[in-house]
Amino acid sequence: AQSVTQLDSQVPVFEEAPVELRCNYSSSVSVYLFWYVQYPNQGLQLLLKYLSGSTLVKGINGFEAEFNKSQTSFHLRKPSVHISDTAEYFCAVSKDTGRRALTFGSGTRLQVQP
């Protein structure tokens, strides 16, 4: 079985500052990795995903993430955040075989302050 750990439950940051949201996973098989964003009372929106190939993945809204197999990490970064980036961010993994349902981390609340 796979699991996902998001080390920070909340990350406060000032507008235009860089941010990194941490995600570590564990799995006995190869996995696909995802970052989703959830705005209040809304569903999930895919930010980016790693399936294979280049370990640096670029997503929407200026976010990027780097897959590090040796450290089993998939940290999300943005060089300059905006107020509108305030939301809940979820890291998720899916096995590359079988049902491929997603296993989510506990989420990180990004709070961008002016």
Partner 1 sequence: GAVVSQHPSWVICKSGTSVKIECRSLDFQATTMFWYRQFPKQSLMLMATSNEGSKATYEQGVEKDKFLINHASLTLSTLTVTSAHPEDSSFYICSERSGGSSYNEQFFGPGTRLTVL
Residues with Cβ within 8 Å of residue 11, at least 6 apart in sequence: 19, 21, 108, 109, 110, 111
Q: Which stretch binds partner 1 (CB under 8 A): 12-20, 23-31, 37-45, 66-74?
A: 37-45
The nearer residue to partner 1, 5 or 15, going by C-beta atoms, is 5
**Of residues 97, 91, 109, 89, the one with CA closest to residue 37:** 89
Work out which of 44, 59, 62, 77 binds partner 1, going by CB under 8 A. Answer: 44
Residues lying near partner 1 in the complex (CB under 8 A): 32, 36, 41-46, 49, 51, 90, 94, 96, 99-107
